[in-house]
Chain A
Amino acid sequence: MSKGLRHVVVVGAGPAGLAAARAAAEAGARVTLLDAADGLGGQYWRHLPAARPAGREHVLHHRWSTFGELSGALRANPAVTVVESAQVWSLERPDGGIRLNVLVGEPDAVGRAVLVLEPDALVLATGAHDRTLPFPGWQLPGVYSAGAAQALAKGERVAVGRRVVVAGAGPFLLPVASALLWTGATVVGVHEAAGPGALARGWLSRPWELAGAAGKAGELAGYVGELARHRVPWRPGEAVVAAHGDGQVEAVTIARLDERWAPVAGTERQVEADAVCVSHGFTPRLELAVAAGCALSPSRFVVVDDAQATSVPGVWAAGEITGIGGADAALAEGAVAGTAAAGGDLGVVRVAVRARARARGFAARIEAAHGVRGGWVRWLRDDTVVCRCEETTYGRVREVVELTGSHETRSVKLTSRAGLGPCQARMCGRTLQELLGDAPGGDSDAGGTAPGVDRRPLVVPVRLGDLASLPSTSASTSP
């Protein structure tokens, strides 16, 4: 590998990371692309693994050919090293630099290979996971995040159920419903929490009739047509407010919501279903950005400038960790970030810069129309599980707050146990903060002003034996 070239490390091989890696290589850098998954593509281009190559993968994807071009270009470029199954588990800031600690091997295995990288420039493209607000019964088997249904349909060709209800908020529900139809499931309905009023404000009229974000509009319009062909009702201003069943989901309660997302009394109806897929938006995967010290916006995304540079010198960010704008935005931001990280000329990616501007408009519309409204708390009951790991209920959280008088997330976590389990509050952290009315930056760390529940120095669990066998000096910087 050529020495002396600027070494750009890209974390995440979704649309943003793939575009960043290619742009950085084209701008003349030596590039290492890391992803924890054992294949490229991220969430958007999740596909069957090499062990089960599909003849017609493209029917499930938009811009499948773009994925082929990007991954092909990267694999063919000798200046690019792609490392799959590469979990970045922590990021350190030795004086004047960045160090990435990586374990390469099967997920959660003992004895994975150690890789330590100290790049000249870092592009974070770690994406997001979907956020599901709790509701009574959401812990029953058969309730999935919408992303899970999508991932299982695309990556496993598994249908999560036969009669499936899709609910939550945002345009993402449409591709989820589509993917479910492609598994042969009956989609009973798609229930969008945002009411017609909010949708009109965010989208002018209807989600798929967008001005500006042409690509995304076309994609969404395609999904809408598909739902119509399958006679799947799309119902704004509604939510799944409870799931029922003995040991697994057998039915759900659907209710109309008011503008604030509070259920309207008397509108509840039960619908039989054997699976429910629910997602109310996305939570960016901020661990590495927080560890690097990147400034976050009040809405909890990584702050970037026009060149996708974060507040930390040497660190760029792209894709869903900078805002929820979909794959178009991710691709455009990735191209800009990769170019800038390599020290290239942004004039070369003018097209991407323009595409990004359009996509940002789209992201703002999503938030305006589908952003979580506080009334959802009204569908909770005292026995509703809030923290799935520790099984802490809403009633217990309220009780603890009342008894201790504390509204601070860290204290309430430690006294109610909510958020202390293996997922480390990835599922319930934001929910807890909203319930407590704690400022997003709460959960103060050592009394300082810290990024709250998004601070997780260990990005994923690591086997103690693997920690113990780390080399005692800062090690290899290859590849």
Chain B
Amino acid sequence: MTSQRIAVERDPVEPGPDRPLTIWVDGEPVTGTAGQTIAGVLLGAGRRQWRTTREGGAPRGVFCGIGVCFDCLVEVNGLPDVRACLRRAQDGDVVADQGAPPSGGSLPEVTS
């Protein structure tokens, strides 16, 4: 695991005790603690990419961490274009890769 949340018992900053929450990311459960952003939960669980770019199909996650680069955009509970580094996670949030190619049933891309 490359990125991770510092375990409360080892953290010199002594954060309050964990209040676990679970978010669903592309169908899989990921746990974090109340007060984390969605990016915080994902990075804390060792996930550092959650968006696929439209043109190049390249993986992206956090870059600026403070809401200015828009690299971390995710779909949250069906609403696209949410900055994961700013939005606090709520238990049960459903998070999806908004850049992923359209799944079956959706409209074709406008091409030409």
Contact = CB atoms under 8 A, between A and B. Distances in A.
* A–B proximity contact (CB within 8 A): yes
A54 B35 CA distance: 12
A162 B2 contact: yes
Contact of B63 (A55, A56, A145, A150): A145
Contact of A108 (B10, B58, B87): B87
A48 interface: yes
Contacts of A183: 6
Contact of B44 (A149, A158, A460): A158
B31 interface: no
A285 B48 CA distance: 27
B13 A55 contact: yes
Contacts of A159: 3-6
A38 B88 CA distance: 9
Contacts of B15: 48, 52-55, 157
A158 B68 contact: no
Contacts of A107: 67, 82-83, 86-87
A148, A183, A422 — most chain B CB neighbours (10 Å) = A148
A142 interface: yes
Contacts of B100: none
Interface string B55-85: 1101111111111111101000001011101
A151 B60 CA distance: 18
A145 B35 contact: no
Contacts of A389: 70-71
A48 B13 contact: yes
B52 to A, nearest CB: 11
A147 B65 contact: yes
B17 to A, nearest CB: 9
A48 B59 CA distance: 28
A145 B53 contact: no
A248 B59 contact: yes
Given A52-B34, A388-B71, A158 B53 contact: no
B9 interface: no
B98 to A, nearest CB: 11
A157 B48 contact: no
A144 B60 contact: no
B65 A144 contact: yes
Contact of B65 (A110, A149, A275): A149
Interface of B: 2-6, 10-16, 19, 33-37, 39-40, 43-44, 48-49, 53, 55-56, 58-71, 73, 79, 81-83, 85-88
Given A54-B15, A248-B49, 7 more contacts: A57-B13, A107-B82, A108-B87, A147-B65, A149-B65, A156-B44, A427-B64
